Amino acid sequence: MNAIEFTDVTLALGNRTILQDVSFAIREREFIGVLGPNGAGKTTALRAVLGLVAPRHGRIVVLGRPPLPGNPAIGYLPQVQSQAAGTRLRGRDFVAASYHGHRPGLPLLGAAGRREVAAALERVGAEDLARRPLSELSGGERQRLLLAQALIGRPRLLLLDEPLISLDPRHQTAVVALTRSLQQELGITVLFTAHEINPLLGAIDRVLYLGLRQAALGTVAEVITGPALSRLYGMAIDVVNLNGRIFVMSDGHDLEGSAHRHDEAHRHA
């Protein structure tokens, strides 16, 4: 069975069409890298899977059913996260907050809830972070706790929206490796959005690349090509392979790297 199916789907925000007549199918237990230029619809596509954005046209099926907001079978790590990172909230309480759907205040859990939180912390190797306040944790350590949050309820589908933002290359590698390990161990489907392909190389099964309201789904070798990306960017694209890294180039500029730097500058500003 497919985990996600888009059939002739059109997604729009207000008067702006994000994706138009897009069709693709993601199989169960696949690790999919979701890429594309800024504004291509990566986050909107995830929100449609979550049932938070209804298609203007077409049909979406998630785990055999229409998208359902609050579906406990889906774990979600959003791109825009709470400001809890600057607080004295302990790691265990931060993870436990998702047990009842991020309700305000510190959670009061029974024995089953405490076991679930402990299991989520153990899965991501964050037991030592349970008693530490978030304000004392590194970006990579906080991402482990966010991933633990997304695993509460033992989901079958995991949606991770830009979990590598603000992380240095070492922590990016660790987050990707951890996600791949969890995906294989738990037998779940993962959609992992990112600015560039390189941190995901060797981990993902296929790539879903969005651009110009269209989508291309396939292996890295099938999708990350000059002709395929030229169609999605609407301009001439060269794909350069150098020392095991892939560069998406136009007129001598690295488009994926430039997008990442622009986003970082915007966040810090």
CA atoms within a 13 Å half-sphere pointing along the CA-CB vector of 176: 24
Over range 240-252, report the average pLDDT.
91
pLDDT tens digits, 65-76: 999 999 999 999
Any idea which residue has 């859990």 for tokens?
Answer: 109
- What gap in Å lies between CA 202 and CA 225, rounded to an integer? 17
| 94 and 75 Cβ atoms separated by less than 8 Å | no
What pLDDT digit, counting tens, does each position of 94-149 carry?
A: 898 887 665 445 566 788 888 999 999 999 999 999 999 998 998 889 999 999 99
Dist. CA 68–CA 20, nearest whole Å: 22
H/E element, 151? helix 139-151
CA dist., res. 52 & res. 55, Å (int): 10
CA distance 30 to 106: 35
Q: How confident is the model over 22-35, as a mean pLDDT? A: 98
Per-residue pLDDT for 84 more than 70?
Answer: no
189 vs 77: CA distance, rounded Å: 14
Average predicted confidence (pLDDT) for the chain: 89
**Per-residue pLDDT for 265 more than 70?**
no
In angstroms, the first-to-last Cα distance of the chain is 44
Residue 11 one-letter amino acid? L
DSSP H or E stretch at residue 22? strand 16-27
Instruction: Look up the pTM and report it.
Output: 0.89
CA distance 258 to 93: 37
